[in-house]
Structure 1
C-alpha cells in the first residue's frame, strides 16, 4: 500500500482545505511531520484512517466529533485519499455525520455520513469502473484489498508508541486483549467454547445413561424385595436370579402336592352329590304325585269349562261381527245427516229428492260450472294485463325522466368543454414560463443573500485591514529590534571572540598565540541567545503579518465579489422583487403540469357527449314502444271487463261462482251416496241378527245369551288347555322318575352327608389355589428379574464406552482451556497468542539490539503465572551488561521508548505477514522521540533508515526540534486562531 495524496477540509483543526502530497514528501523515503503541540499532526493520520475505514484510532474515535469548529457553515467536512493497493489505484472520499446550521430559519440540521470509492485504474476481477457509494461496500473493498481490519491497520501502519509502552508493561490479561484484536484469534476462542459446550452436552448424556442404569437397579431391587446395595454390580444381579430360580422350584413342588389332594377331595364330593341328587329326585316324584291327587276335582272343572267355551266360540264370533255392523250402520246415518247439512248451507233446499234425482241434479250443477271455465282463464288474464298496464305506466314515466336528465347534461357540455380548453391553454403557458421564473428566483435569492451579507463583509474587511496594519507595525518593530541587536552584537563580537581565547592557543582571527590585550565586553553587549530569541520573534511577527495580509485579501475578495454581483440594488428592492417572482412561481405552479390532464378531460367530455346522445335516442325509442303497447292493452281490458261482469253475477268474480257450483255439486253427490249406504247397511244388520240365533241353536244353547255366557276369551281357553296338559305331563314325569333303573332301591327316608365332603373339598381347593399363585408369583419374579437383568446388562454395556469417551473429552477440554493436565495453564487461544508473541519478540529483538547497541533483547516466557494463573504471554528484557532478565517495568523512559518502538515494528512485521499485507509501502511513527539523547537518536534514525529500504516511505510525527535538522523533507503544521494550515518545507 502506498499513499499518494491526502486532502482534508473542515476536518479536526483544519478549517479550510489542506493538501498533503505524499509522493513529494516520500521521494527520499523519510519525511517529518512537525508542528506545535495541538496543531493537528496526528489529525492527518486520523484523516488517513478515517478515509480508509470511517473511524479514527484510539480514544479520539470514541468522541465522534471530527468537524472543525472554526469552519464556515457552507464548507463541507470531507477527507479525500488517493492510494495504490495491490497494483490498483483508487480514490476514496468520506464525510462524517455532523451538525450544520440550517440554511433557512434557526437551529441545526444533521448532515449524513457519505463515502465513495472511485477506481483510477482498471478495477479488480474485470468489475465495473463506476464509483461505489455505499458506506458498507466501500469498507468491505478496503479491508479486502489491505488484507487487514481497522484495528490491525492502526497497529501496523500507524505505530502509536504510547500504546505499546502500555503493552510492554501490561499484565497477561491486558496483553492478551491487544493480541486478540491484532491476530484475530476469536476462532480459537470458538474452539474452546465448542469443547466446553460439547463436554456439557456429553455430561448430560452420560448422566442420563447413569440415571437409566440406576433406574434398572432400583427396579431389580423392587422386584426382588431387597434394599439397593451400595455398589450394585453384575454378581449381585446373578445372585438375585439364582435365588428366584430356587424359589420357583420349591413353589412348583408344593403346588403338585396340593393339586393331588384337591383332586381326591373333589372325587369324594362328586360321589356324595350324585347320591344326594338321586335321593332328591325320588322325594320330589313322591311329593308331586301326592299334590296331583289332591287337585283331581279342579282338573275335571277345567275340562268342562273348556268344552263349553269351544262350542260357544262360533256364536261369539258372529255376535262380534254383528256389533261391528251396527257401528257401520250408525256411521252411515251420521254421514247422511252431515251431507244434508252441507247442502242446506250451500243453499240447496230440495233434500226430499230420491237418490236418482239427486245425482241428476249434481250433474247439472257440474255442467254449469264447466261452462264458466273459459271465463275463469279470461279473469286471470285480465289481472295479468292490469299489472302489465301499471308496469308500462312506470316505464313511460322513467323514460320521460331519463330523457330530461340526459338533455340537461347535453345542454351544459359546450360550456364545460370551453372552460377545459381555456384551462389547458393556461397550463401550457405556465409550463413554458415556470422554468425561467425559477431561474430568476434562484438568481434573486443569491443576490439577496449577498446584499444582506455586504454590511458584515464590510466590517470584516475593516477588521482585517486594522489587523493587517497592527501586524505590519509589530513586524517592523520586531525587525528593527533584531537589526539593532545584530548591530550591537557585531560591535561586541571582538569581546565575544576574546572570551574564547586560551593561553598558548592560536587566535582564530590573527593566528597569534599571544593575547596581550584581549577585548573586554561592554555592559550593552548582546549574546547569541538574545539574538536567536529576537530572530524567532521577528519570524513569528512575519508569519502573523502574512496571515493578516492573507485574511485581509480574502475579506476584500469576498466583499468585492458580493458587491459586484449586487451592483446598485438595495436589499428592500431585491426582497420585493423576489417576493413578486415567488408569487408568480406559485401562480404558475398551480397550472403547470396539468395540460395533459385538461386535454384528457376535453376528450372525455366529447366521448361523454356521444354517449349521452346515444342514451337519449335509446330512451326515446323505449318511450314510443311502451306508449303503443299501453294503448292496445287498455282497449283489451275494457272489452274483457264487460263479459266478466255478466258471468260472475252476485259473486265477487267468475272463479268464485264456478267454485260455488262445483262445491254444491259435490255436496249433492255426497248426499246421494250417503242415502245409498244407509239402505245397504240396514239390510246387512237384519241378516246378521238371524244368523246369530241359528248358530246358538246348532251349538246346543237355548239362547244367544246362554251361548255368550259360556264363551271365553282366547287367552282363557289357551290357559285351560295349558293347565290340563301340564297336570297330565307332571303326573307322567313323576311316575317315569320312579321307574328309572338307577333309582331302584332308593327310599325317600334315606340320608346322605354332603356338607363334610364340600368343606374338605373347599379346604383342598384353597390350598391348591394358594400354591398355584405362589408358583405364578415366583415365576413372574424370575421372569422380571431375567428381563431386568438383560436390560441392566445392556445399559451397562452402553454406559461403559460413553464414560470412557467422556473421560477422554473431559481431560481434553481441560487441556484446551488451560486446566487439568495442562501444566502451563495455557488455553488454546493463549497458546496461539504465545506463539505469535514469540514471533513478535524475535522480530522486535533484532531492532532492539540494534537501537540499544547490543545491550537489550526480548525474552518470551510461557511459564504459568503466580498462584496457578494462566501463562504463556510473559515478556521480559535480557540485559547483556548484567546477564540478568529484567522486567520491562524497570526500563528508563528512553529505554522504554526504544523497547516500545522495537516491539511496535516487530509486531507490524508479524501482523503484515500474518494478514498477507506484505506490500505496506507507507509507515507512520507517531511521537516518542523526545525521550532520546542525541547518540541514541542516531541509532534509532539508522533503524528507521533501514525501514525505507526497498521503496518503503516512513513518516515521523514529532515536535522534537532536533529532528528538523536530521530529516531533510518536512511538512509543517502551523497553528492559529483561525485553524491549522500545512506548509511544505525542505
Structure 2
C-alpha cells in the first residue's frame, strides 16, 4: 500500500481542508515530518490509520474516533478523512467520517465510510469495508483486509510504528509478548486449544475421582457372613481395601479384579459352610431313610444280575459280526488299482496341456492389452499433437498481429524525436521569452533610474536658475545704483528710472553659479544617456519579440505579428504542457511497445519450444506405431496358437470327460462298497468294545452291590438292636433335636441367601464400575499427558510464538549489527524455565555476557527497538502471503541517539527505502532536517495546523 494523497478536514488540529500529496515524494526515500510540538505531526499518521481501519495509530494513548473532531470546527464544518492509495498498480479511495456532536445540535452525527474501487464501484457499508468479527473470530474480512492482507494491529507493528509502542515489544515480559504476538500472528487458536485442553483435563479428572469415590463407597456396602467370620476376614478385606486405594492412586485399576476375586473367595467360604450344614442335614436324613434304601438296593441287585447274563449272550453274537466285517474290509482293500493308475497318468498329462493352454491364453490377453495400450497412447499423442497444433496456430496468429511491431516502434521513435525536436525549439523560445522578460525587467529598472535622474536634473536646473537669477539681480542692483534720472540706462536706454532695482542679499558667487551650471549639464547628460539606453533596450526587446513572433509563426503555422506578448506567453505555457503530455504519451506508448516486444519474444520462444516438442512427438508417434505393429503381430500369432490348442483341448476334453464319467461311476461303486464294509467293521468293533466295557462295568457294579448289601445287612442288624433297646423318651428327644437343628439350618440358609444376593449385586456393580473407572482412567491419563504438553512449563502457544520470535530476532540482529557496529545482539531467554520462552536478553560482545534489555541506554534501547520493529515487519510480511511493504512511518525516538548511531540508523533506513519503500519519520532532530531533503513542515496557528511541503 502506497498513499497518494491524504485529505483532512476538521480533523484533529487541522481545521481547514488540508491535502498532503505523498505522490510528490516519489516511491522511495526518506520523508521528514517536522514542526512545532502539538502542531499535528502524529495526526497525519492517525489520519492514515483511521482512514484504513477506523482507528488511530497513536501508541498507548490512542484516541477514540469520537475524539478526532477538531476543536476549531464550527457546526457547519464536516469532519472527514479521505485517503487515496495505490495497491498493486491500482488506485483506491476511502473516505471516513467519525461520529461526533455539533454545537447547537442535540443529535449525534453518525459515522460514515465509503470506498471507491478502481472499476468505479462504491462500497458504502462498514461491513463490506471493515469486515465482521464475532468473539474474536473473523466472519468476513472486509475489503481493506482483503487487499492489504494484514489486520490493524499488524499494520501498527509493521507500517505505522507509533510513539510509545517502540519500547513495548523490547521491554515486554513473556506474558505481554504472548498477547502482542497473539494479535499479530493470529495464535489465538492455539490459546483457545490450550484452554479447551485444560477444561477437558479438569472435567476428566473430576469424573475419574467421582468414579473412584463411588467404587470406595460400593466396597463399603459388602457384608461378610457372621461376626466371627467377619472378624476373621476383616484384616484380609482391609488389606485388600488399602491395596485398592494405593493402586487407584497409582492408576492401577487391575487391583479391582483382585478385590472382586477376594470377595468371591469370601462368598465361597460362606458357600462351603452352607454345604457343610446341608451335608449334616443329609446325613441325618440318610439315617432315617436307610431302611427304605435297603429294600430298593436289594431289588436293584437282582436286576443287575439279570442284565449281566444278557450282556454275556450279546458279546458272543457281536464277536461273530466283527469277524465277518473284518474279512469284508480286507477283501475291499485288495482290489487291483493298476488300470486306474494309467488313467491317472493320462489325466495328469491332459492337465499339463491345459496348464500350457492357460499360459498361452494369458499371454494372448497380455499381448492384446499391450496392443490396446499402445493404441490408447497413439490416440493420446494424436490429441496432444492436435492441441499443440492448435496452440501453435494461435501463437502464429498472435505473432501475425505483431508483425507491424517494428514499424510501430520506428514510428514511435520518429514521433518521439520530432516532438523532442519541437521541445528543443520550444526550450529555445522559452529561453528567448525569459531573455525578453529579463530585458523588460532591466528596462523597467532603467526607466525607474531615468525618473530619478530627471528629478535630479529638475533639482539641478531649479538650483541653477535660482543662483543665476540672484546673480543677475545683484548686477542689476549695481547698475541701478549708478543710474541718474535723465541719463539713459546702459541696458534699455531709458532716461526715466521710476523703480530701479534694489540691492539683493545672499548673492552667490560666480564660482557657485558656475558649479550649479556644471551640475545641471551633468544631469542633462545622464538623462540623455539613460534615454539613449532605454531606446536601445526597447529596440532590442522589440527586435527579440519580433524574432520570437517569427519563430513562433513558423512553429505554429499561424501569424503572431499582431498578438500581444502576454498572449504569446500563455500560448507557450499551453504548448509546453501539450508537448510534455505528448512526449509522456509517446514514452508510455514506447514502454507498451517494449512490453509487446517482450511478449513477442516470449511467444517466439514458446513457438520454438512447441516446434521442438512436435518434433519429439513425431518421433514418439513413429516409435509407437512400430511398437503397435509389433504387438499386433504377436497378438495375432498368440491368438492363432490359442485357437489351435483350444481345439485340441476341446477334443481331448470330450474324450476325457467320457472316460472320467466311467471312472467316476466305477470309483463311486468301489467307494460305496469299501465305505460300507469299513463302516460295518468299525460299528461291529465299536459295539464289541462297548459291550466289553459294559460287561466289566456290570461285574464291578455287581461286586459293589454285593459289598453294599453285606454292609446294609450289618447296619440293619445294628439299627434293629438299637431300636429294640432305645427308650421311647430318648427317641422323642432326638426327633425334637433333629427338627430344631433343621429349623436353625433353614434360618441360617435364608440369611446366607439374602447376604449372598446383596454381595452378588455389589460385585456386579463393582464389575460395571470397574469398566467405567478403567475407561475414565485411560481418558484421564491421555488428557493429562496432553495437558502437560500444552499447558506445562513451556506452553504450546508459547512454542509457536517462539518460532516467530526467533525469526524476528534473527532479522533484528542483522540491522542491529550494522547500526551498533556489532557491540551487542539480541538473544531469546531459556525455553523451559517457568514458561518464559519469550523473554529477551542482550549479549554484550564487549563483556561476553548476557544482560537484561532494561540495562540498555536510551539511545541503545531506541536502536534495539527500531531493529525489533523492522524485524517484526519483515516476518509479518513473510507470513501474510507475501505482503509487500511500500510505505512505513516511524514516530519519534531519534533524539536519543548520538551522531554516529544516528548516522547508522539513517543509513539503515536509506537502504530499506531503496527497495521502493517510502519511509516517513516524525522528529525534531535538527540533524535530520539537514540530512533529509523531502520534508513536511507542520505549522501551528490560531486557526489550526497547516502543512508545507518541501520536495
TM class by smaller structure: 0.3 to 0.5
* TM-score of the two chains, using structure 1 as the length reference: 0.44
TM-score by length of 2: 0.46
